[in-house]
Structures are given as C-alpha cells and as structure tokens.
Amino acid sequence: MDLIDTQLRLPAVEPEWVERVRGPGGPLADMAHAVGGPFHVLHPARFAENAAGFRRVLAEHQVPGRVYFGKKANKSGCWLEECARTDTGVDVASVPEFAEALAHGIRGHEIVVTGAAKSDRLIWLAARHGALLAVDALDELDRVCALAETAGALRILLRVLPETNPHSRFGFTGDELDEAIRRCAAAGDALRMEGFSFHLNGYEVAPRAALAAELIERCRTARAAGLPADSISIGGGFAVDYLDARDWERFHREYADSWFHAEKKFTHFYPYHSEPTGARMLAAILDTDRLAAQLRETGTRLLLEPGRALLDGCGFTVFPVQGYKPRRDYGIVTVAGLSMSISEQWKGSEYLPDPVLWPESGTGEPVSACVGGSSCLDYDMLSWRKIAFPRAPRNGDLLVYPNTAGYQMDKNETEFHQLPLPARIVVSTENEQTRWRIERPVS
C-alpha cells in the first residue's frame, strides 16, 4: 500500500455549515433518498456573509460603490434573493439572466449588463429597466444610441481593453475610447455615460489597482468633456482559497504524473490557494497606491462584479457511488452523474480538492482510486487524480465534492445520455434547525 502512504491529500477548507448537513444526524442521507441521483447542496446564508464582507471593505475605506454578483458563476436563483436582501446588485449577460434577476426581486437599477456584442433585446431591456450597460465596441455603442430613441435613455459604462490582457476580445482600445467618448458627448440625453469598466483574467492585485487608477484619470477627462463619468468597475476575479497553503505548496513540490489515472499530463490548475482572497483582496486593491483615497478625492464610485468569490463555501455536490472496480495498484470509482458537473474537468484541468466518501465508517483497507462518471466516454472523469479513500467505495455510498458552487456545479452541465440534470437543494437554518428544500424554477 505504498501509494496510499505517499498519496498527497488535498482536503478542502470547509465552512462550519457543511458539517451540520453531512455530519452525524444531518440530513444528507434523506436528501440522497429524496433525489435518487446526483445533487447540489446550496447554502444562501453563507453567500450573504460573503457579500457583507465585500460591502464592509468598501465602507471601511469610505469608498462609495456597489457589489454586483457575477451571475454566470451559478445558475441557482437562491443567491439572487440574498442579493435583494443585502443591497447587492447582479451582473448579467443574457436576457434569461436579466429576467431571472428581476423575477427574484432585483430592481433594474441594481443590474449591470456585461458581455460581448449584446442583443438588441438585452439592450432594450436594460434601457426599460434603468440597468447599467457595459458597452464593448463602437458598433454596439451606435446600436445603443439608436435603441435609446425608442426605449429611453441608457446608463452606460465603456469597457476598456486592458494592456495587461492585450489578447482579450473584450473592450475598447485607447483610440476607440477617444472616439467612443466623442460619440457619447454627441448623443446628448440619449445616453448617461457613467464611467469605465474592465474585467481582468488572473487573480492579481497590482494590475487591478493600476488599471483602476488609470480609469479614475479617464473619468476626470470625460467629465471635462461634460459627461457624468463618476464610476469605475473593476470586474471580478477575486481569488478563492480551496486548500491550505501547506498542502498546495506540497502539491507543487512533489507533483508527479503518476498521481493521475492513465498518467494524464496537466499543464495548468486554478490557484487553489492564494493570498489575499475574497474581500481581503478588495482591501489590498484599495490599499495599493492610495487607490481608496484617489476614489474619495475625485468623487468616483467603485463597482465590482465578483462571481466565484461570493460563492466561496456556499455549496457542494453529491454523487451516489454506483460501482468500484479494483485495478492492479488503484481502483476506479464510477458515480451516478457526469464530469460536466465539475466544470474544471472541461478546461483540460482538474478540480483538485479531495472528494469525501460518505459515510466515512465501514470496514475495509484504505484504497486509492480515480473517479469516473456514468457515461460511455473514457474521458468522462470527475477526478483523474487517484484519491486516498479510507476504504473501498461501494454502491450505496455517496461521494461529496466540496466547495463547488463557484463555476463547478452547473456551468457545463448537460442532459447527456438523457440523464436528468442534478437536483438543487437549498439549506437554511430556522430556529437553530437545519431545513432543506428542493429548488424549483420561479418561472
């Protein structure tokens, strides 16, 4: 059993509520019985705490602004009701996302619409509801002006192509921005140009702070041209910690292809541990080169659009074990469900936090095993990595993938093989009791 002794374990950093669901006396077995297939467990109260953390950082820095939840990170409606309760806006990029936000009580002025060339219908909806629209190109700006004639004035931001992401397909170049500002000034009352936005790849503090400072200057110039320009949006990309620093460092130090089924080779992983993360990363941005003071002194509002970071610790995914196949030196677990429910697997990468076998008790020797989905594709793997299990998983057990709410659970899900999509279970605490319900669509 050499492999198991040397096997790297990557236990997830988990919030306290998880134990109440998964621990002794918790409702996990009842949930699995009710659903009879794979499912996601969602905890909106944690989302509200994460959102409060971001708002607190803005308040502590005395920076006026708004947090918008990047909705694409999870399709569930339960987060939107927390947004409505906590004065958090929503960042949408399609008509159905816009409609769902409204249906869950978000008001038009609390919505920001982002994304590449938007449909006329989406622009029209933004105009009708007074949403803020991040314009991405000159031809889109012209369509926005034309639609404003019938739909009413539009609130817009101009999205900037960052020098640090020169190959991004989003945003205006410097020259295009100058032209866009001329057209905004010429549009008169049809447009309310409220400022500039960006969204950077990666999870670095410094480039965000630097570009934010640059956009404050752009706002000053635009104001001189008679435009309102009192806001900048720094987008999303606030990092999340899934793993402890020591485990992550050891993962890199000892990394070996032999850890993975079929010796699969990987070239990139999400930074499963980084520092700072979430709201502390916002604080670090605001503390760089007096950014907070610059915002205050110039009367500029700070908008941000975190997706993943608001969903940190907000959910996990449960797959019933269907079978276990011992091979020579490791096993293969097959679960009910598909690797599409772990989106990282579809980016040529791997979701690394260890899945947990439930129940933990049971007899047998420890084993190490990779995890496959219940499809006919050899590459439908939820974990290529051979996971150390306390005993061999067997039919009737559950396999729990931790912290999946941000992008993992539903971004790539399909009804492949005509299998139904996993159910969603929303957990809350009422009078110190853990309650759960199966989420149904609002419309």
Ligand X SMILES: *Cc1c(COP(=O)(O)O)cnc(C)c1O
Q: Which is nearer to ligand X, 89 or 307 (CB)?
A: 307
Q: Of the listed pieces 46-54, 233-241, 317-325, 347-355, which binds ligand X according to CB under 6 A? A: 233-241
- What angle in degrees, to the nearest 10, is found between the helix axes of 120-129 and 95-103? 30
235 binds ligand X (CB under 6 A): yes
Q: How far is the CB of 123 from ligand X (least distance, A)?
A: 16
Do 388 and 9 touch, CB atoms closer than 8 A? yes
**With respect to ligand X, which residue has the nearer C-beta, 235 or 331?**
235
Give the single-character DSSP code of 108: G
Match 């706002």 to its residue by tokens.
219
Does position 236 interact with ligand X (CB under 6 A)? The reply is yes
What does the DSSP assignment read for 293-352? Answer: HHHHHTT-EEEE--SGGGGTTSEEEEEEEEEEEE-SSSEEEEESS-GGGSGGGGGTS---
Angle between helices 278-287 and 206-224 (to 10 degrees): 60
237 binds ligand X, rule: CB under 6 A: yes
Question: Looking at beta carbons only, is 86 or 428 nearer to ligand X?
Answer: 86
**What is the x/- site pattern for ligand X, positions 170-199, by CB under 6 A?**
-----------------------------x
Smallest distance, ligand X to C-beta of residue 91, A: 5
Size of the site for ligand X (CB under 6 A): 15
Q: 91 or 413: whose CB is closer to ligand X?
A: 91
Backbone phi, psi, residue 349, to 5°? -130, -165
- Residue 73 binding ligand X, by CB under 6 A: yes
Q: Which of 27, 65, 307, 402 binds ligand X (CB under 6 A)?
A: 307
205 binds ligand X (CB under 6 A): no
Using CB under 6 A, which of the segments 15-23, 58-66, 302-310, 386-394 binds ligand X? Answer: 302-310
Amino acid at the residue 63: V
Pick the closer one to ligand X by CB: 40 or 386: 40
Tokens for 185, please give them.
């000034």
306 lines the binding site for ligand X (CB under 6 A)? yes
Dist CA 357 CA 399 (whole Å): 5
The answer to whether 91 contacts ligand X (rule: CB under 6 A) is yes
Residue closer to ligand X by CB (options 96, 396) is 96
- Around 372, how many Cα atoms within 13 Å sit in the side-chain half-sphere? 16
Using rule CB under 6 A, residue 107 touches ligand X:
no
Cα–Cα distance measured from residue 10 to residue 382, given in angstroms and rounded to the nearest whole number: 15
Pick from 38, 44, 65, 70 the residue near ligand X by CB under 6 A: 70
Kindly state whether residue 280 participates in binding ligand X, applying the rule CB under 6 A: no
305 binds ligand X (CB under 6 A): yes
Residue span binding ligand X (CB under 6 A) among the ranges 13-21, 257-265, 304-312, 344-352: 304-312
Residue 114 sits in the site that holds ligand X (CB under 6 A): yes
Q: Is 97 in the site for ligand X (CB under 6 A)?
A: no
* Dist. CA 199–CA 303, nearest whole Å: 11
Q: Does 53 bind ligand X (CB under 6 A)?
A: no
What's the full length of the chain, in residues?
443
Q: Which is nearer to ligand X, 22 or 159 (CB)?
A: 159
User: Pairing state of beta strands 398-401 and 356-358?
Assistant: antiparallel
Tell me the DSSP string of 375-415. SS-TT-EEEEEEEEESS---TT-EEEE-S-TTTTTTSS---
Task: Answer yes or no: are the C-beta atoms of 277 and 206 closer than 8 Å.
Answer: no
Among the listed residues 193, 112, 101, 116, the one whose alpha carbon sits nearest the alpha carbon of residue 148: 193
CB of 443 to ligand X, least distance (A): 24
Which range touches ligand X (CB under 6 A), out of 10-18, 82-90, 249-257, 305-313? 305-313
- Ramachandran category for residue 51: left, alpha or beta (phi over 0 → left; psi -120 to 50 → alpha): alpha
Binding site for ligand X (CB under 6 A): 70, 72-73, 91, 114, 199, 235-238, 305-309
